[in-house]
Chain A
Amino acid sequence: DTGVSQNPRHKITKRGQNVTFRCDPISEHNRLYWYRQTLGQGPEFLTYFQNEAQLEKSRLLSDRFSAERPKGSFSTLEIQRTEQGDSAMYLCASTPIGPPELFFGEGSRLTVL
């Protein structure tokens, strides 16, 4: 399977714990995006990378959130000191340079108890 891969698919954690999600984009896709989706809403932009450079971050990305793409391939999204309001589906997407037709992974669902 050469699509966007996200792990874990589902994470249940207690409030205050740290969680990390991983995204493996489609090979040779330069751009990688993180979005968050809550029930009944559309995906909300969090951040994006072009190769290893983080070029834009949403104001939704508080200082408890950090994203990296160290070698321009896979990316991680870490949430520190999780809160119940962080419960959502975290979506990763990638695209090559050109029209922004993002290819999404299946998402990582976070449940904070």
Chain B
Amino acid sequence: DQQVKQNSPSLSVQEGRISILNCDYTNSMFDYFLWYKKYPAEGPTFLISISSIKDKNEDGRFTVFLNKSAKHLSLHIVPSQPGDSAVYFCAATGNMLTFGGGTRLMVKP
């Protein structure tokens, strides 16, 4: 039973435009959500997080939105840059992190 799902395996965006990556979860006990970025042959790198008591958190070009009623979160990257091309994982936690399957983002110059 996948408790965290990323339904889009890939996303292609033009440089300078907005990238929106989506994530759905099923466990209402999750109270903290994170996004990780992964380049090939490297471990995941923490990007941004949000507590369940908030609905938005912003850090530079990255903003995470949380909709608890819909059990949905999204990551917005604006403007997108070619260096943002990577696999993005959302994760949620009660006791330990549960990861989604990832979305491969390709930002075209």
Q: Do A and B come from one complex?
A: yes
Residues of A participating in the B interface, judged by any CB pair closer than 8 Å? 4, 33, 35, 40-45, 48, 56, 91, 93, 99-107
B32: contacting residue among A35, A45, A100, A107, CB under 8 A: A100
Contact with A along B19-45 (1 / 0, CB 8 A): 000000000000010101000011111
Contact with A along B73-109 (1 / 0, CB 8 A): 0000000000000000101010111111110000000
Chain A residues with CB under 8 A of B97: 33, 43, 45, 100, 102
B96: contacting residue among A4, A33, A41, A107, CB under 8 A: A33
B32/A104 in contact, CB under 8 A: no
B46/A102 in contact, CB under 8 A: yes
B43/A56 in contact, CB under 8 A: no
Selected A-B contacts with CB under 8 Å, 5 pairs: A42-B101, A44-B99, A56-B96, A101-B34, A102-B44
Interface bracket on B: 20 to 34
The dominant DSSP class at the A interface is: loop
- A100, B43: Cα distance in complex, Å: 16
Chain A residues with CB under 8 A of B6: 42
- A39, B58: Cα distance in complex, Å: 31
A104/B96 in contact, CB under 8 A: no
A42/B99 in contact, CB under 8 A: yes
- A78, B102: Cα distance in complex, Å: 27
- A41, B70: Cα distance in complex, Å: 24
B99/A56 in contact, CB under 8 A: no
Chain A residues with CB under 8 A of B99: 35, 42-44
